[in-house]
């Protein structure tokens, strides 16, 4: 069988070739950053593909479909994995680059591999930036507005901003541009660059540890030692992502409202230092803060300097590093200048990040807005509720507004009911003798909402209901249905079944 495949494809010898690569000095946990980054990338592509099954890119549906993703525990977890996977990937690319930098592994003949690696970092950052907009909540909107404004700063930038934004203001076109960049353009660039990165890597072989005489090193093999260590590292990354996805899922803010200019945007942690720079430079130049490009009137060239010139020069320096560091040896002693510079740049980046974080917190405190809790946000109907589809086939909001919240809940609750409850309680809640009691015209159902919530969450058995007893129990729903589904279905049975007209139940009332 293997011979058959080998004779027709050459896959077996290719795999053998791939696995028997030499590693100067033997396998080491120091070499796992590259493969761990690649693992994070594959995880991002996988979770990202599945997220497109649920996400609908347009101004009327982006937030709504994200909300639906949050409300379903499985898709919420998927999103949470994608969110932490992004952080992991950026952190790992950065660590990988940092290690190559410290070890001087970018030196001849690996200059091009270094350049491709730096481009990969940029692509990863663009992926983070473009993904940040997609939920279309307040922060997504205003933080992206800052980056779009930055694109508009340099001469000719207005054109670039117009293209990225898809017109004069942010809207559906912006979401579609960012979506296209996030799911097609950048992933394609990423895969192509990773391919080039690996091909160049195979051509030159690993750089190995920093030693004066490479001939003294005993060569090791990729398989099985390094492969094993790479696997362990990827597994550790995987478990960290799963753990964080469980304990710290991302936060969905209220739907983007362009009129709410008091909102203070906060960037992803990996862009904090740029925000810090932006806020810091005006302090040096003219003694006044410019809160995140909201007021551009002050001194455009100062912002241009902080937002474009400094980061661009920094990027170019990193890119051409192999030609700046001309020492022929990789030893730490002879590269003290580069190493100290790296150290101070990293200290500066960390310091700027903390500075940005504290400034943002001060701005938020000064804005005096009490942030809503996520339950409040998820429970609230979208501001544009008016019968718009939320991209999941469910209808959000009621025509005519007014009692919009309640009637949206009734509609949502009806579908929960027909999927989970009508088989026993009947399509119109009329009940079935011997199977389940009626819920229509049932004073318990229209009575104290707390008692109804309790029964639906925890189930019920052996009670005489409406003059009957039932051998089978009423199932407990708290592990099968989300809080929102429970609130919706109770709102429906209290107010949507024939003869019932009791009050709606809010998600926050469900434990
Ligand atoms: C497997 C059949 C079955 C399904 C499915 C079912 N129920 Fe029940 N339900 C019952 C039975 C049986 C009782 C009565 C239990 C008893 O007497 O102990 C009951 C009781 C109730 C009661 C209490 C009625 C009263 O007057 O005390 C409510 C409220 C209720 N169900 C709501 C729901 C909702 C909402 C759903 C869907 C999420 C649902 N049920 C799905 C069988 C079912």
User: Which residues are CB-contacts of 273 (< 8 A; sequence separation ≥ 6)?
Assistant: 348, 349, 350, 352, 353, 356
Q: Which of 188-197, 205-214, 283-292, 441-450 has the lowest mean pLDDT?
A: 283-292
Strand partners, 196: none
Q: Tell me whether residue 381 is in a domain.
A: no
Q: Which pLDDT value is given to residue 392? A: 39
Q: Which pLDDT value is given to residue 300? A: 63
Q: Is the pLDDT of residue 389 over 70?
A: no
- Cα distances from 370 to residues 96, 262, 382, in angstroms, run 40, 12, 19
- Is the same domain home to 351 and 411? no
Q: Tell me whether residue 312 is in a domain.
A: yes
Cβ of 442 less than 6 Å from ligand 1: yes
- Is the same domain home to 90 and 188? yes
Q: Which of 13-17, 334-338, 407-411 has the lowest mean pLDDT?
A: 407-411
Cβ of 203 less than 6 Å from ligand 1: no
For atom 5 of ligand 1, which residue has the closest CA?
421
Distance (Å) from CA 441 to ligand 1 centroid: 14
Beta strand pairing status for 219-221 and 22-24? antiparallel
Contact 86, 44 (CB under 8 A): yes
Residue spans of alpha helices (H) in 104-212: 111-133, 138-151, 157-165, 172-180, 186-204
Q: Which of 296-305, 321-330, 355-364 has the lowest mean pLDDT?
A: 296-305
Cβ of 444 less than 6 Å from ligand 1: yes
User: Which residue range forms the structural domain that includes residue 51?
Assistant: 20-367
Q: Which pLDDT value is given to residue 215? A: 62
Residue finishing a domain among 351, 367, 383: 367
Q: Which pLDDT value is given to residue 216? A: 63
Cβ of 475 less than 6 Å from ligand 1: yes
Q: Tell me whether residue 43 is in a domain.
A: yes
DSSP label of 249: -
Q: Which pLDDT value is given to residue 246? A: 94
Q: Tell me whether residue 253 is in a domain.
A: yes
Alpha-carbon span 89 to 35, nearest angstrom: 11
- Is the same domain home to 359 and 411? no
Question: What is the percent of the chain where pLDDT is above 70?
Answer: 88
Which of 418, 419, 422, 424 maximizes ligand 1 atoms within 8 Å of its Cβ, making it the mutation to test the pocket?
Answer: 424
Q: Is 460 helix (H, G, I), strand (E, B) or coil?
A: strand
Residue finishing a domain among 367, 395, 415: 367
CATH number for position 422: 1.10.760.10
Q: Which of 180-184, 362-366, 411-415, 495-499 has the lowest mean pLDDT?
A: 362-366
CATH number for position 112: 1.20.810.10
Which of 425, 431, 435, 461 maximizes ligand 1 atoms within 8 Å of its Cβ, making it the mutation to test the pocket?
Answer: 425
Cβ of 436 less than 6 Å from ligand 1: yes
Sign for the pseudo-dihedral over CA of 418, 423, 426, 431: negative
**Could you tell me which residue, 473 or 36, shows the higher pLDDT?**
36
Q: Is the pLDDT of residue 236 over 90?
A: yes
Q: Is the pLDDT of residue 164 over 60?
A: yes
- Is the same domain home to 323 and 228? yes
- Is the same domain home to 356 and 408? no
Q: Is the pLDDT of residue 400 over 70?
A: no
pLDDT in tens, 272-283: 998 888 777 665
Task: Give the largest Cα separation in the chain, rounded.
Answer: 93
Residue finishing a domain among 310, 345, 367: 367
Distance (Å) from CA 210 to ligand 1 centroid: 70
Cβ of 470 less than 6 Å from ligand 1: yes
Q: Is the pLDDT of residue 43 over 50?
A: yes
- Is the same domain home to 296 and 434? no
If you average pLDDT over residues 163-180, what whole number do you get?
92
Q: Tell me whether residue 14 is in a domain.
A: no
Q: Is the pLDDT of residue 288 over 50?
A: no
Alpha-carbon span 215 to 20, nearest angstrom: 19
Q: What backbone torsions phi and psi does residue 411 show, to the nearest 5 degrees?
A: -60, -45
Cβ of 456 less than 6 Å from ligand 1: yes
**Could you tell me which residue, 405 or 38, shows the higher pLDDT?**
38
Label residue 197 by pLDDT band (50, 70, 90): very high
What does the radius of gyration of the chain's CA atoms come to, in whole angstroms? 29
**Residue 171 burial class via C-beta count within 10 angstroms: exposed 0-12, middle 13-18, buried 19 and up:** middle
pLDDT in tens, 60-94: 899 999 999 999 999 999 999 999 999 999 999 99
For atom 36 of ligand 1, which residue has the closest CA?
421
Q: Tell me whether residue 384 is in a domain.
A: no
Contact 99, 33 (CB under 8 A): yes
Q: Is the pLDDT of residue 20 over 90?
A: no
Q: Is the pLDDT of residue 212 over 70?
A: no
- Is the same domain home to 408 and 356? no
Q: Which pLDDT value is given to residue 30? A: 81
Q: Which pLDDT value is given to residue 361? A: 84
> Which range has highest mean pLDDT (173-177, 360-364, 385-389, 464-468)?
173-177
- Is the same domain home to 338 and 195? yes
- Is the same domain home to 347 and 420? no
If you average pLDDT over residues 227-243, what whole number do you get?
95
Indicate the average pLDDT of the chain.
84
Atom from ligand 1 closest to the CA of residue 486 = 38
- Cα distances from 287 to residues 130, 279, 281, 359, in angstroms, run 32, 11, 9, 15
Residue spans of alpha helices (H) in 305-403: 310-319, 321-324, 336-367, 374-379
- Is the same domain home to 328 and 409? no
How many structural domains are present in the chain?
A: 2
Q: Which pLDDT value is given to residue 264? A: 79
- Is the same domain home to 141 and 37? yes
Q: Which pLDDT value is given to residue 384? A: 46
Q: Tell me whether residue 4 is in a domain.
A: no
Atom from ligand 1 closest to the CA of residue 469 = 17
> Which range has highest mean pLDDT (69-78, 165-174, 381-390, 410-419)?
69-78
pLDDT in tens, 217-232: 667 777 788 888 999 9
Atom from ligand 1 closest to the CA of residue 435 = 12
**Could you tell me which residue, 76 or 464, shows the higher pLDDT?**
76
Contact 264, 386 (CB under 8 A): no
For atom 40 of ligand 1, which residue has the closest CA?
421
Which of 436, 470, 472 maximizes ligand 1 atoms within 8 Å of its Cβ, making it the mutation to test the pocket?
Answer: 436
- Is the same domain home to 324 and 459? no
Q: Tell me whether residue 341 is in a domain.
A: yes
Sign for the pseudo-dihedral over CA of 405, 408, 412, 414: positive
**Could you tell me which residue, 370 or 508, shows the higher pLDDT?**
508
pTM for the full predicted model: 0.68
Label residue 289 by pLDDT band (50, 70, 90): very low
Alpha-carbon span 495 to 504, nearest angstrom: 7
Label residue 394 by pLDDT band (50, 70, 90): very low
Which of 460, 476, 489 maximizes ligand 1 atoms within 8 Å of its Cβ, making it the mutation to test the pocket?
Answer: 460
If you average pLDDT over residues 436-457, what whole number do you get?
89
């Amino acid at each position: 069988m293997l011979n058959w495949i080998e004779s027709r494809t050459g896959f077996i010898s290719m795999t053998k070739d791939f696995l028997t690569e030499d590693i100067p000095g033997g396998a080491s946990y120091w070499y796992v950053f590259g493969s761990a980054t690649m693992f994070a990338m594959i995880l991002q592509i996988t979770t990202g593909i599945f997220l497109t099954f649920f996400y609908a890119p347009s101004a009327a549906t982006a937030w709504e479909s994200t909300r639906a993703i949050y409300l379903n525990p499985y898709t919420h977890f998927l999103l949470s994995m994608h969110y932490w996977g992004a952080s992991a990937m950026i952190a790992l690319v950065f660590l990988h680059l940092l290690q190559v930098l410290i070890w001087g592994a970018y030196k001849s003949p690996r200059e091009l591999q270094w350049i491709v690696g730096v481009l990969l970092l940029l692509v990863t950052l663009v992926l983070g930036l473009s993904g940040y907009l997609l939920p279309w909540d307040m922060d997504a909107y205003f933080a992206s507005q800052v980056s779009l404004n930055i694109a508009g700063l340099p001469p000719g930038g207005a054109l670039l901003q117009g293209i990225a934004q898809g017109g004069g203001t942010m809207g559906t076109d912006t979401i579609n541009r960012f979506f296209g960049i996030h799911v097609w353009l950048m992933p394609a660039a990423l895969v192509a660059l990773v391919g080039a990165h690996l091909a160049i890597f195979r051509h030159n072989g690993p750089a190995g540890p920093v030693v004066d005489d490479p001939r003294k090193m005993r060569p090791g093999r990729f398989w099985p030692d390094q492969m094993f260590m790479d696997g362990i590292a990827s597994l550790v990354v995987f478990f960290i992502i799963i753990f964080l996805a469980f304990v710290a899922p991302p936060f969905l803010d209220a739907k983007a409202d362009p009129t709410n200019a008091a909102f203070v945007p906060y960037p992803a942690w990996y862009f904090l230092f740029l925000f810090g720079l932006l806020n810091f430079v005006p302090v040096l130049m003219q003694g006044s803060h410019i809160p995140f490009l909201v007021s551009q009137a002050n001194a455009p060239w100062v912002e241009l300097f902080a937002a474009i010139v400094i980061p661009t020069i920094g990027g170019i320096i990193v890119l051409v590093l192999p030609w700046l560091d001309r020492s022929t040896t990789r030893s730490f002693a002879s590269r003290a200048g580069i190493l100290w510079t790296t150290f101070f740049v990293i200290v500066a980046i960390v310091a700027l990040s903390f500075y940005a974080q504290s400034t943002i917190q001060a701005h938020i405190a000064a804005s005096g807005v009490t942030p809503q809790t996520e339950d409040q946000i998820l429970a609230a109907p979208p501001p544009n509720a008016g019968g718009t589809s939320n991209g999941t086939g469910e209808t959000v909001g009621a025509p005519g507004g007014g009692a919009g919240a309640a009637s949206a809940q009734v509609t949502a609750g009806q579908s929960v009911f027909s999927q989970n409850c009508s088989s026993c309680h009947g399509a119109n809640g009329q009940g079935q003798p011997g199977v389940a009691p009626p819920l229509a015209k049932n004073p318990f159902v229209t009575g104290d909402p707390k008692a109804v919530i309790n029964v639906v969450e925890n189930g019920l058995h052996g009670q005489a209901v409406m003059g009957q007893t039932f051998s089978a129990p009423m199932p407990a729903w708290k592990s099968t249905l989300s809080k929102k589904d429970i609130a919706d279905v109770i709102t429906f049975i209290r107010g949507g079944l024939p003869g019932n007209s009791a009050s709606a139940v809010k998600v926050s009332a469900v434990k």
